[in-house]
Amino acid sequence: MGGENSLTIVSPGRINLIGEHVDYNDGFVLPAAIEQHIQFKICKNGTSNKAIVRSKGFEGVLEINLKAITPRPAGWENYLLGVINEMQQLTDGISGFDCEIQSFLPVGSGVSSSAALECGFAYAINELFDLGLDRWQIVKLSQRAEHNYVGTKCGIMDQFASVMGKKGFAMLLDCKSLEFDYVPANFDPYVLLLLNSNVTHDLATGAYNKRRQQCEDGLSFLVSKYGIAPSFRNVTLDMLTDSKSQLDATVFNRCSYVVEEIARVQMAKTLLKENKLKAFGELMYKTHEGLSDKYEVSCKELDFLVDLAKRENAVLGSRIMGGGFGGCTINLIHKDSVNLFIAKAAAAYKKEFGIELNAFETQPSNGTTLIKENHEVGL
């Protein structure tokens, strides 16, 4: 598909340097958009109510009646249908279009291909029909699409990072107020390396939503006991410790992790600004321990990869990244040691689990963008 009337949009995946599973708990997160992305080519097709979407990453063609948007039983189509449904609540300016999607993101790797898909699709429709939606509206409607059509009660971080990214910077996002700051992310001579475990996960199966409910249950008890405003940032570790005997053990662990992780993110922001990379890496390891032992979203494959990284002097920090139960580890590693480490990790991983390991370097990059004549044009 092409021609003078078509538009090309790229929508990146994201990494999260630290602040995992706290975006839906009123915490702070430190994500960045990455170079790897999903590409959208879109054009009007002259009809009033028919959209056709083709994807090189998924089988089949999605034909959409824009006058009768309804969820499908399951699958990637619901991300797109959800986006159209949410946009139609805001505007009646959408008519027929054709869209071709090509993903350069590894699905299920924890770099949030789902948010890149939602946000890029929304951005493309917004540009094609000149709807006038701003970046925050695209972030929020994409999140609602995932809630309402996919069934994953995700926080806002993934969509935010995909849309708001800035090359060379991470972003400290306050998930309660939605205020954010760009934080310089200069890692030289270290680089960010993602190791894809090739173990996939499906958050809609309930493990994600179950943990969210456990956190809400714990917070509700603490609010009742201490009279604090209902936010985890008002909870102290002393409050939790004093309430341990009154809380379910699993709920206690979930809440303990959240409170500790919120504090780690604030420390990480300072360390990045001061370029104290070794101390920053140590926080990454602490986060992984919490995700594995207290939040229980790791798995033996990911724990194996982090343990492997800990034994390498060239690696300053490593942890699981993303929703969990598979996906990637994110590693802060000296650039001169990348190839040797990948080879060593891949061999050990294959020997232990019989699974191939994929690795890719990345760096903080710009968010969802319209490409026009090889130039990037902001919204």
Helix count (H) and strand count (E) of the chain?
10, 15
Of the candidates 98, 134, 158, 336, the residue annotated as catalytic is 158
Sign of the four-CA dihedral 108, 109, 115, 118: negative
Cα–Cα dist 80/89, whole Å: 15
Q: How far apart are the first and last CA of the chain?
A: 23
Q: Are 33 and 365 in contact (CB under 8 A)?
A: yes
Cα–Cα dist 203/302, whole Å: 17
The one-letter amino acid at 341: F
Question: What pairs with residue 182 in β-bridges?
Answer: 171
Question: What pairs with residue 50 in β-bridges?
Answer: 65
For the stretch 241-255, what's the b/e string if a residue is b when 16 or more beta carbons lie within 10 angstroms of its beta carbon?
Answer: eebeeebeebbbbbb
Q: Does 158 participate in catalysis according to the annotation?
A: yes
- Measured in degrees and rounded to the nearest 5, phi and psi for residue 102 equal -135, 125
For the stretch 182-206, what's the b/e string if a residue is b when 16 or more beta carbons lie within 10 angstroms of its beta carbon?
Answer: ebebebeebbbbbbbbbbebebeee
DSSP, res 57: S
Cα–Cα dist 376/363, whole Å: 18
Q: What is the 3-state composition of the chain as percent helix, strand, coil, each rounded to the nearest 5?
A: 45, 25, 35
Please identify every residue annotated as catalytic.
Answer: 158
